[in-house]
Structure 1
Amino acid sequence: MSRTGPGVSAILAMAWPMTLRAMMLHGTVVIDAWLVAGLGEEALAAMGLAAAIGGMLTGILLAFSNGTQILVAQSFGTGRREALRAAFLCGLAINVGAAVLGLLAAALLAGRVIDAGAHTPWIADEARRYLLAFSLVVLAEAVAQSLSAHLNGCGETRRPFYSYLIAVPVNVAVSVVLIHGWFGLPAMGVAGAALGSAVSALVRAWYLVHHLRRSDAAVLGVGRGDTPPWQALRRHLAFTLPVAVTFVSATFSNSVCALLYAGLSVTDFAALTLISPWVQVAGTVGMCWAQAAGILVAQLLGRRSDPEVLDAFLRRAWKGAIVAAAAVACVHLGICLASDRIYDDLQPATRAALWSFLPVLLVLPFPKGSNAICGNTLRAGGDTVHVMHIFVWSQWLFRVPATAALVWLDAPVVWVFSLMLIEEIVKFPPFHLRLMRGRWKRAAF
């Protein structure tokens, strides 16, 4: 490391495993859907209904873990073993607690949601069986995500990625066997896919525990820390809760917008449905770059680095974010150019709508990437509440009502899609002004 902080190569070394891991996480859902699709549309509908609830539970765990990895990075920077162990154990306790509370809430409420969304009693029954088996995934992921957050915060982003390289093939193999009942096992149908995911999650957790026991077993032990356990837990929760609230708000606002899209014409709605997953997957490149930069900022703050070092590092991180945004824009362009081959049976109106999105797709990654650098840097400095407010209010005071208004006015679909870009522009001033004030540089840990 130079006197001006880590270089671009350090960010890249951390970002690429995080990016591939995120893409594999999205790919797991696609693979499960592909395996279940062979059972028919009703089976796929049952899985989709239950997976929406399960995805919310695992998403909350991921949100808490993202906050934990910042606290781990801060503790790693200080060099205090007690603080590092406390950050890991508090994150694990909060994840397990969130998983248990989430499963209890699902036990009380999920049945009504499933009954309301299922078109037939068979779909409702299969969705319940899937969700019951998926509860094992939630519990295993509570541990695995905590371990991944610890390793990410310490700069070991490759190990969580390697865990997915092992877990995904296990998921596919076990799911196929249990879905179809091979080797004398009962054919479990939709629930077999959930159990396959559970086995892979347990394998992933075992791999990460095994690695941590070999590399840093002391972190797994309980020792006397600098502060009482209840006080450390309260501080940890105060830091990570706004990150979880940000995730929940984003999930609900996106769901509301998706429901509003249903008021568009069939071709316009289809175009939005087709492009949204591509935007999400391609966007992981910029988001993971910003997360890696945020982890390194937290480590620098833990070392009490000079403001000049932080500024120099951020300048390099921003230049890299521009390159990452350009790469994402190129991917968006490639998707539009290849849309004829990817979706060869689209109606002309749907294809025209996809092409109308192109100007927005080419510009969107740049303000989004810059905002992500600001958000992760501010979180690294402990400003999680302010970041939460920027996200929540831009979603509920702008994007959701603006989407409802444009759909009601029967505006062109490109106007509706452009709200994704305008939302980033709305967030741009508060993010950058807050960062330029520099209070995050004086965070003390």
Structure 2
Amino acid sequence: MRSKNSQYIKKNIKMAWPIAINALLMQGMLMIDTLLISPLGEGALAAMGIASTIVALMLGMQNALANGSQNVLSRAVGSGKSSLISKSFLSGMIINLSFATLFFILITLFKWPIIKLLSHNVDLYDDIDAYLSLIKYTLLLTGISQVSIALFNAMGKTKIPLISYLFTMPINAAASYYLIHGYGSFVGIGIAGAALGSVIALGIRMIFLLICLKYQRTVILSVKQSFIGLQQNITLHFKEIFPIAANMVVLTMGLALYNALYAQLPTEAYAAIVMIKPWLTALAQFVVAWAVSSAITISQAIGSNNFDTLDSDVALSIRVTVGVSMIIAFASFMLSLVVEKIYPGHSQVTYDALKSIAPLYILMPLIQGYVTVHGQVLRALGKTTAVFNINFVTRWVIALPLFAFVVLVLKASIFWIYAITVLEQILKIPFMRRLARKFLAEFDSKKAKELMY
């Protein structure tokens, strides 16, 4: 048993670390554009921030749909049936590209009403328009790339998406710099150059991924087999993965409201949140990556009708997630000791605010990791709606109203305000745990067959 557990852990770690690095590199691409645009002034930065916010929400939905397809594809890979893999891949691609096309049309037709809704500064309009008019093409490119990445992850080939990001980033940086600032006789096209640079880099990444798919030897993708029963597959595929996209919207909109309420705090307290947030987000990716790799392995087991070790694999995934979360909690503790050195020159009030919330953000990875792995297990079992319901109730019905009351009415200290976000995660634990146990106990070959569409 110990040897089998060791193999399970090694397999998941092999998949998890490239997924974590991928997530960090995705954030890095936006940071590159920000650094390159910075010399153009605050107006250009503000314009890019507004335009990228619009596209980021849409790309986030596409990514969520692809993550849902990843579990469907993992089951298909586990079954070993090329017809099922081909059909699931095409269904995922059609769904994702349909949303990408819809978003593209919305931006094209309603660009100006959206711009005027998000900004009342007419001086920014031309820059926002220039950036948005080009960056919208990334929606179509990403629609293809994300589903391709989902298939590679489902096959356990998580290094291929990592490689695609590693060479895309320098291409993005070089192309964007040249197009923004120019070189020699070319004077550059300003903020539009950042968008065009991203389009070029993501287009090259898409081509690379499709070439790798064509020549990989793990599964055989058949266009002819893809169309057999495709309509029913698309319907069932969409029914399973749409709650994941809806879940992403619920959490993202909730996060936006959290940020808006944080902005009501005194400047020093708000600055403390802004300082620490990117670091905590980056560290959390390692816990999420392990949970995602566990879901892939569990989905593959379901696809291959291997239920003998399903309970023990889930239990092991949870234990390892707790272990990884403890490491991240320790890293957060170390961060709390050096954060003042990372951000020198601020007021003592800001540093006191950072110290006051340190126990909470050190504790958060342990709670969030436990919640995340249970959510991924439920999704692997096809219970995506259950995860959506839990996230919606805990965030929108309980946490956000309480957060607003504490901020706007009680005007409490930053410690109690930040504690609400920790409470939200704690509230999810009993529901996630109970449902995971219930659905695992009920899971059998009949329920597995229902997922093998």
Q: Tell me the TM-score normalized by structure 1.
A: 0.96
Q: Percent identity?
A: 28
Q: Which residue of 2 aligns with 1:46?
A: 47
Report the CA distance between 1:168 and its aligned residue: 0.5
1:283-313 alpha-carbon deviations (Å, 9 max, x no partner): 111011100000000001111112x401221
Sort the Cα spacing of 1:390 and 1:169 in 2 relative to 1 into closer, same or farther, 3 A: same
Report the counterpart of residue 419 of structure 1 in structure 2.
420
SS in 1 for 2:216: helix
Which of 428, 433, 448 matches 1:443? Answer: 448
Change (3 A) 1:199 1:291: same
SS in 2 for 1:198: helix
Q: How far has the Cα of 1:342 moved from its partner?
A: 1.3
Give the Cα–Cα distance (whole angstroms) in 1 for the partners of residues 217 and 103 of structure 2: 30
Q: Does 2:168 correspond to 1:163? A: no
User: Structure 1 stretch 370-379 or stretch 5-14: which is displaced more?
Assistant: 5-14
Q: Which runs of 5+ in 1 are unaligned?
A: none
1:433/1:248 CA distance change after superposition, 3 Å? same
Distance 1:48 1:196 in 2: 16
Which residue of 2 is the match for residue 62 of structure 1? 63
AA at the equivalent of 2:14: A
- Which residue of structure 2 aligns with residue 370 of structure 1? 370
Query: Alignment length, in residue pairs?
Result: 444
**Partner in structure 1 of residue 314 of structure 2:** 314
Instruction: Give the letter for the 1:382 counterpart.
Output: G
Taking structure 1 as reference, are residues 79 and 191 closer, same or farther at Cα in structure 2, changes over 3 Å only?
A: same
Between stretches 207-216 and 272-281, larger displacement belongs to 272-281
Deviations 1:37-75 (A, max 9, x none): 111111100000000001111111100000011000000
Uncovered stretches (5+) of structure 2, i.e. residues with no partner: none
- 1:82 touches 1:226 (CA, 8 Å); kept in 2? no
Partner of 2:137: 136
Give runs of aligned pairs for residues 397-416 of structure 1, distance below 5 A.
Answer: 397-408=397-408, 409-416=410-417
The 5 A counterparts of 1:320-335 are: 320-335=320-335
Residue in structure 2 matched with residue 180 of structure 1 by the alignment: 181
Deviation at residue 226 of structure 1 after TM alignment: 8.7
Counterpart Cα distance in 2 of 1:127 and 1:217: 44
Match of 1:264, SS state, is coil
Instruction: Determine if contact 2:115/2:125 at 8 Å carries over to the other structure.
Output: yes
Q: Distance in 2 between matches of 1:3 and 1:49?
A: 50
Aligned counterpart, 1:264: 265
**Cα distance change on mapping 1:93 and 1:257 into 2, 3 Å:** same
Deviations 1:114-165 (A, max 9, x none): 2243353231110111011101211111111111011111111110111000
8 Å Cα contact 1:133-1:194 kept in structure 2: yes
Pair 1:279-2:280 in alignment? yes
Q: Which residue type is aligned with residue 391 of structure 1?
A: N
Q: Does the residue aligned with 1:304 lie in a helix, a strand or coil?
A: coil
Contact 1:407 1:416 in 2 (8 A): yes
Indicate the RMSD between aligned Cα atoms, in angstroms: 1.8
Aligned counterpart, 1:92 = 93
Counterpart residue identity of residue 392, structure 2:
V
The alignment partner of 1:389 has SS state of helix
TM-score (norm 2): 0.94
Instruction: Render the CA deviation track for 1:178-225: whole Å, top value 9, x for unaligned.
Output: 000224435111111111111110111111111111115975542235
Distance 1:343 1:262, change over 3 A: same
1:382 corresponds in structure 2 to 382
